[in-house]
Amino acid sequence: MNHQELAYLADRYRTTLRLAVYVSRRLDGVTGLSTTALSILNMVAREGLRVGVIAENLGVRVPSATEQVGRLERAGLVARGGDPADARAVVVRRTPAGDAAAADANRRRNARMVDAFGALAPEELEALRAALPAMDKINERLHAATNHKEHIA
Amino acid sequence: MNHQELAYLADRYRTTLRLAVYVSRRLDGVTGLSTTALSILNMVAREGLRVGVIAENLGVRVPSATEQVGRLERAGLVARGGDPADARAVVVRRTPAGDAAAADANRRRNARMVDAFGALAPEELEALRAALPAMDKINERLHAATNHKEHIA
DNA sequence: CCTATGTCAGCACGACTGATATTC
DNA sequence: CGAATATCAGTCGTGCTGACATAG
C-alpha cells in the first residue's frame, strides 16, 4: 500500500471511528452506566486494582479516574480499600451489587451490538473480526505516541 | 457464526471501540480543532449546510450543533448565512480561513494515523480496510435504533 | 393555528491542570 | 529530602432538555 492509499485509509478510518464514538455514547442511555464506568467495573473484578492502574488502562489522568471511582463508590458498585503493602495506594474492588450491575450492563450492551450485527452479511462479520487485532495495535501505538507529550516537551 | 460467537465478538468490538475513543481524544490535542469541530468543517465545504443537517450528520441534537457552529464562527472558520428560500434556515459555510484550518488539521491527523499504521503488517492493513464497510453499517444501524427513543416512548 | 427551525438558558458529565496531604 | 500515590479545587468542552422567537 503506497503512501497515498495509506492517507486515504487513515481518513476513512478516522471518519468511521468518529461515528462509532457517537454510537457508543448512545449505548450509554440503554443502561445506567456510562461506557467509562462500565469499563472500570469490568477491569476491577474481585481482585481489585489501584487507582493509578485504572487511569492507565482507561487512558486518562489519575484525577479523572479518582472521580469516576468516587461516583461508582457513591452508587455502591465498588469499594475503596487500602493496600497492606503500600499505604499510599488505594485498591478499588467491585461489590456484589457491582458484579450484578456490570453483568447486566454488559448483557444489554452486547445484545444491542448483536442486534446491529444483524445488518451484516457473514463475510462482513468475518471482516470485522479479522480487523480487531489491527485496531488494537493502532490504539496502543497512538496511545503510546501521545500519552507522554509533556515529558518530551 | 452462532449466537455465542456473536456475543463474544460484540464484547471484543465494544472494548476496542472504547479504547479508540480515548485515542481519538488524544488526536484532538495535536491540532487546535476537536474531532467534532473538524467534522463540521469537513462536511460544510463551500456549498454550505443547514444547522439541522449538521446535527443529523453528527448524530447530535440541534442545540449542540448550534453551539459548535457558534464556536467555529467566533474562531472565524465558518460564516452563518440565510437561505433565500426559507427564512427559518441558517446555512453554515466555510470561510477561506476555515478551508485552511480544515486542510491543516486533516493533514496532521492523517499523518498521525499513518504513523500508527506503521505498527501493522500489510495483511493487517488490508483487514482494516476490509472491515470499514461493516463498521459503517453497524454505526448506521445503532444510530437508527437509538436515535428516536423518545418518539417511541 | 400548528409545525419546523434555530437559539438561549440551565444542567450534567467527564476530562484536564495545579495544588495539596500522605507515604515510600 | 525527593519521588510516588491519590485527592481536592477549579476550569473547560460538549452533550442534553425545556423554553422561546420567528417563519412556513
Query: Chunked in runs of 10, what are the mean pLDDT values of chain B (153 residues)?
Result: 92 90 80 90 91 93 97 96 95 96 93 92 97 93 63 34
Beta-bridge mates of residue A83: A86
Cα–Cα distances in angstroms (integers) from residue A17 to residues A13, A24, A71, B18, in the given order:
6, 10, 28, 10
Find residues whose C-beta atom lies within 7 angstroms of strand C.
A 34, 36-37, 58, 60-61, 63-64, 67-68, 71, 86-88, 150; B 25, 50-53, 62-63, 65-66, 69-70, 80, 86, 88-90
Contact A146 B20 (CB under 8 A): no
Which residues of chain B are within 8 Å of residue A26 when distances are taken between CB atoms? 59, 142-143, 146-147
Whether the per-residue pLDDT at A151 is higher than 50: the answer is: no
What is the per-residue pLDDT for B77? 96
What is the per-residue pLDDT for B50? 97
- Terminal Cα-to-Cα distance of chain A (whole angstroms): 33
Grid cell in block for residue A15: 471518519
pLDDT per residue as tens digits for the range A55-79: 999 889 999 999 999 999 999 999 9
Which residues of chain B are within 8 Å of residue A126 when distances are taken between CB atoms? 1
From the CA atom positions of chain A, what is the Rg in Å? 18
Which residues of chain A are within 8 Å of residue B43 when distances are taken between CB atoms? none
Which amino acid, residue A94?
R
pLDDT confidence band for A146 (50 / 70 / 90): low
pLDDT per residue as tens digits for the range A124-143: 999 999 999 999 999 888 87
pLDDT confidence band for A147 (50 / 70 / 90): low
Contact A142 B26 (CB under 8 A): yes
Quick one: B14 exposed, middle or buried, by C-beta within 10 A (0-12, 13-18, 19+)? buried
Which amino acid, residue A101?
A
Nucleotide nearest to B70 in CA–C1' terms: C7
> In terms of pLDDT, which residue wins out, A151 or B76?
B76
> Residue B10 is nearest to which of A1, A3, A117, comparing CB atoms?
A117
The neighbour count for residue A86, using CB atoms within 10 Å, is: 10
pLDDT confidence band for A144 (50 / 70 / 90): confident
**Distance in Å, residue A3 CA to nucleotide C20 C1':** 49
What is the per-residue pLDDT for B146? 61
Q: Under a CB-based contact definition with an 8 Å cutoff, are residues B59 and B99 in contact? A: no
Nucleotide nearest to B64 in CA–C1' terms: D15
- Measure the CA–CA gap between B89 and B73, rounded to whole angstroms: 16
Which residues of chain A are within 8 Å of residue B140 when distances are taken between CB atoms? 119
Task: Give the global pTM.
Answer: 0.86
Cα–Cα–Cα angle for B143, B146, B151, rounded to 5 degrees = 125
> In terms of pLDDT, which residue wins out, A26 or A134?
A134
- Measure the CA–CA gap between A51 and A66, rounded to whole angstroms: 7
Q: Under a CB-based contact definition with an 8 Å cutoff, are residues B36 and B59 in contact? A: no
CA A127, chain centre distance (Å): 22
From the CA atom positions of chain B, what is the Rg in Å? 18
- Measure the CA–CA gap between A125 and B133, rounded to whole angstroms: 10
